Amino acid sequence: MGDLTERLRTLDRLPVPDLWPEVLSREPERRPAGERMRRVAVASLALAVAAGGIALAARALLQRDTVTIVPITPKANGMIAFTCGDTWPFNSDLCVVDPDGTGRRTLITGLGQLSNPAWSPDGSRIVFQVGGGIDSGGASIFVARADGTGMHELTPGAYRTYSRSPDWSPDGARIAFSREPDGSGNGADIFVMGADGTHLTRLVDSPGYAAVPKWSPDGTRLAYVASESLDGPTCCVHVLYLRDGSDRVVTRHAAGSGPAWSPDATRIAFGRGQDVLEVHPDGTGERVLATCDACSSVFDVTWSPDGGSILFSGFVPAAGKGYAENLPQLFVVDQDGTNLRQLTTEPGAACCAAWQSVPARPPSRAAASPSAEPSASSPPTSGPPPRGVLTPTPSAASASMAKVVPS
């Protein structure tokens, strides 16, 4: 320590040279013009690379914050929620039924016109539309628990703007829906909001009508139907890619209903006339799956969570109903187009359904054991479920239904 102190003292005693006169008299170095241009080019390139890196980082951050890729996992079929009522379309309730069509009961009533339900990904909540029918004056979006309790409005103050057809994102964080700006019929756009009703954002600004948005199972795309002008028909099924905002027209043939993704995200089903059709998200492979001869028209198609069936609404003759020639009923068909049957047969309307997804049962211990040998008479213990077989899944919500009236 002493040596270091002595060295520092020696440095303090050294004279400090005066370099200022030399600095004042020094001439700047003259470099060739070509070398100066090369230095400018290198600096500009470095700045561009840095700016591009910042832009890419910002874009990656934006994508990470706004688009969540959800793993596609096996699901089982829970309850079916749908619009029901003897005085439809003037008034309607929300009902639920077991996957086999039994156990029908009223979930929510007393609000006028209830329609277009959609389950949260975990099946614990349900979002739906209030209003939007005949003489309603507007439409808003509400949410409730799976047993009908805890209901509240997600779009307060927006009743006159006709907010319709909500659909829950696969991660449960957001809800997409369509909205007419002023209820005047001058177009409709696609919006998204947080599951609590905050952070409203317009996703599709349509020159005509854009409606019935449906999230892809992985959360990266939205399918919807649209018209190309205010006075044009609802002609097209679109797919919006949320990561880059690109939009693909999947089919330009008239689509009579909103789209429905298959659980594996490889197909989109929709209705047209009396037919249920499917098409790949890239627009290829369009084909008719089934024809409902008993229906005057088919609409509101939805896929079962296990992928084995397709549920849809169809208008049938309304016996004894003087205010409507036809009333909607629910039909189901196997995903390969076979075994079409009517699911609801009670008086009154039944339409606009949503199928609750519940966790798939894990394989049995016997099926998981390598030493277990299935008998010839026993059903298979692995692989997809048999087509057309709808097994009711017990749910806590199915045991407790509540009548909800406005406060």
Residues 6+ apart with CB under 8 A from 349: 83, 84, 85, 86, 88, 89, 92, 327, 328, 329
Residue 173 lies in a domain: yes
User: In angstroms, how far is CA 345 from the centroid of its own chain?
Assistant: 30
Q: Which domain holds residue 224?
A: 77-360+390-399
Chain position carrying tokens 């009517």: 342
Q: Please, what is the Cα angle at 185 between 181 and 191, to 5 degrees?
A: 35
Residue 374 lies in a domain: no
pLDDT-derived band at 398, boundaries 50, 70, 90: very low
Least confident of 48-62, 102-116, 200-214: 48-62
The mean pLDDT value for 287-310 works out to 95
pLDDT at 373: 39
Q: Please, what is the Cα angle at 191 between 111 and 146, to 5 degrees?
A: 40
User: In angstroms, how far is CA 400 from the centroid of its own chain?
Assistant: 27
Residue 119 lies in a domain: yes
Q: Are strands 260-261 and 247-251 parallel, antiparallel or unpaired?
A: unpaired
Residue 367 lies in a domain: no
The mean pLDDT value for 307-324 works out to 80
Which amino acid does the sequence have at 32? P
User: In angstroms, how far is CA 308 from the centroid of its own chain?
Assistant: 20
pLDDT tens per residue across span 91-133: 899 999 999 999 999 999 988 889 999 999 999 999 999 986 6
- List the structure tokens of 390: 């709808």
Alpha-carbon distance 139 to 161, whole Å?
Answer: 7
Which amino acid does the sequence have at 52? G
Alpha-carbon distance 110 to 148, whole Å?
Answer: 12
Residue 53 lies in a domain: no
Mean predicted lDDT score pLDDT of the chain: 76
Alpha-carbon distance 249 to 254, whole Å?
Answer: 12
Q: Judge contact between 130 and 108, C-beta under 8 A.
A: no
What CATH number did the domain enclosing 233 receive? 2.120.10.30
pLDDT at 37: 53
pLDDT beyond 70 at 17? no
The CA-to-CA distance between both ends of the chain, in Å, stands at 84
pLDDT at 168: 96
Residue 384 lies in a domain: no
Q: Judge contact between 340 and 65, C-beta under 8 A.
A: no
Residue 24 lies in a domain: no
Cross-strand partners of 329:
314
pLDDT tens per residue across span 65-90: 467 888 888 899 999 999 998 878 77
Chain position carrying tokens 């002493």: 2
- List the structure tokens of 6: 């002595």
Alpha-carbon distance 305 to 47, whole Å?
Answer: 51
Q: What percent of the chain has pLDDT over 90?
A: 49
As for how many domains the chain has, the answer is: 1
Reference 80, options 312, 250, 373, 244; nearest CA is: 312
Residues 6+ apart with CB under 8 A from 177: 141, 163, 164, 165, 166, 167, 190, 191, 192, 193, 213
Cis-peptide into 328, omega within 30 deg: no
DSSP for 177-239 reads EEE-SSSSSS-BEEEEEETTS-S-EEEE--SSBEEEEEE-TTSSEEEEEE-SSTTS---EEEE
pLDDT beyond 60 at 382? no
> Is residue 48 classed as helix, strand or coil in its secondary structure?
helix
pTM surpassing 0.85? no
pLDDT tens per residue across span 168-202: 999 999 999 998 876 666 788 999 999 999 999 99
Residue 259 lies in a domain: yes
Cross-strand partners of 81:
96, 354
